Amino acid sequence: METIKETNFSFEGQTAFYRGKVRDVYTIADRYLVMVATDRISAFDVVLLRTIPYKGQVLNQVAAKFLKATEDIVPNWVLHVPDPNVTIGRLCQPFKVEMVVRGYLSGHAWREYRIGKRELCGEKLPDGLRENDPLPEPIITPTTKAAVGHDEDISRADILRRGIVEENDYIQLEQYAKILFERGTVLAAERGLILADTKYEFGKLGDQIYLIDEIHTPDSSRYFYADTYQQLQREGQPQRQLSKEFVRQWLIENGFQGKEGQQIPEMDDKIVSSISKRYIELYEQITGESFGYEAQSSVMERVAQRINAALREMSI
């Protein structure tokens, strides 16, 4: 089975190329981005050694669905989705922060809370919470957008003090993030899920702020199953969740948290297959649609042909 580990295309009008953790991004005519969602997977800000079949397709299609479902809240960067693994959109200047919204004490926030911290990114956390408990109200815990290495927690006050984002823009980003999280919560509830936390990225083109990258995907979000949430919390059991957290837990159990000197554990075929199935499970659960398995042969040729056809159609 072919997967997309990396691409090395050359398109008409191409002016730049960037390889992120899981996406290969081509700049066209300094106006548009062609974003290819590969099958790479990252955790703890490190790209793991194996690719995950269909992962890129899942991420790209979930993001496309929810960008469409939220375009009445904030305009987004998307212009065309010519292939399950590809999105073409506007080239915006990204804000150098990620807006992480948390409704529950999970993941990174829980790991910080468990060691005694009661403040995260300037947001106070009450005593007496357990893992996966709901917070009194959703909070925004931004992170810096690191070009290399780990993203870092940062407070609203530090963002403004350091001039990372202008105050007027940051106020707007907060408003958008809160409303998007509310919409995501409603959409998740319709599918029997709880949106526990997620992150949003924004950019600017001229005077207009756009929602960019992906939203409400398993890489950017954590979902709990609503039907078993209360019982599992009462029993102190781990939540059934649809997110990348199970990958992080597997890495932690195998002695890796992205820290210096730690070696990335090898993923065998069984764990690769299980991760692929979990991604597809999330797609079907959150969208309510059967997953369309795109042919996994001549994948690179297919992607290149569809991108070139879309660029011609857009007269680029």
Does 113 share its domain with 180? yes
Give pLDDT, residue 315.
81
Q: Where are the beta strands (DSSP E) in the chain?
A: 14-19, 23-28, 32-37, 42-43, 46-47, 78-83, 86-90, 93-94, 97-104, 119-120, 123-124, 134-140, 143-144, 193-205, 208-212, 221-225, 241-242
Please indicate, yes or no, whether residues 237 and 110 belong to a single structural domain of this protein.
yes
Query: From the first residue on, what is the mean pLDDT of each consecutive set of 10 residues in the chain (316 residues)?
Result: 93 95 95 97 88 94 96 98 97 97 96 97 97 98 75 94 97 98 97 96 97 91 95 96 82 90 90 90 91 85 96 87
Q: How far apart are CA 303 and CA 260, in angstroms?
A: 36
Q: Identify whether 22 is part of a domain.
A: yes
Beta pairing class for 23-28 and 14-19: antiparallel
104, 82: one domain = no
Integer Cα distance of 288 and 11 in angstroms:
35
- With respect to residue 261, please indicate whether it lies within any of the assigned structural domains: no
Whether residues 213 and 121 fall in one domain: yes
Residue 156's pLDDT is 97
Please give the helix or strand (H or E) that residue 302 lies within, else none: helix 299-313
**Residue 7 located in a structural domain:** no
CB 3 within 8 A of CB 52: yes
- Please answer whether residues 200 and 215 qualify as being in contact, where contact means their C-beta atoms are separated by less than 8 angstroms: yes
**Tell me, what CATH number does 144's domain have?**
3.30.470.20
Domain final residue, candidates 193, 225, 242: 242
The reply to whether 9 falls in a domain is no
| Token reading at 121 | 């990114």
| pLDDT (0 to 100) of residue 151 | 75
SS3 content of the chain, % helix, strand, coil (to 5): 35, 25, 40
List C-alpha distances in Å: 164 to 13, 145, 159, 160, 201. Answer: 31, 10, 5, 6, 14
User: How confident is the model at residue 282, as a pLDDT?
Assistant: 83
Co-location of 224 and 288 in the same domain: no
Task: Indicate whether 171 and 287 sit together in one domain.
Answer: no
**128 and 88, same domain (yes or no):** no
82 and 41 fall within a common domain: yes
The count of domains in the chain is 2
Out of 242, 259, 292, pick the residue that ends a domain: 242
Tell me if 286 sits within 8 A of 191, measured CB to CB. yes
- Last-in-domain residue among 196, 227, 242: 242
pLDDT of the residue at 245: 77
Do 99 and 231 have their domain in common?
yes
CA distance 86 to 24: 10
| Residue 260 falls inside a structural domain | no
Q: Are 87 and 73 in contact (CB under 8 A)?
A: no
Q: Are 100 and 238 contained in the same domain?
A: yes
In this structure, the answer to whether residues 105 and 146 fall within a common structural domain is yes
Domain annotation covers residue 247: no
Number of H helices, E strands in the chain: 8, 17
Q: What is the CATH number of the domain that holds 22?
A: 3.30.200.20
Whether residue 254 lies inside any domain: the answer is: no
- Domain housing 43: 14-93+276-313
pLDDT for the residue numbered 204: 98
Q: Which tokens is 255 given? A: 């002695």
Predicted confidence at residue 149, as pLDDT, reads 55
* Same-domain check for residues 125 and 74: no
Q: Tell whether 1 is covered by a domain.
A: no
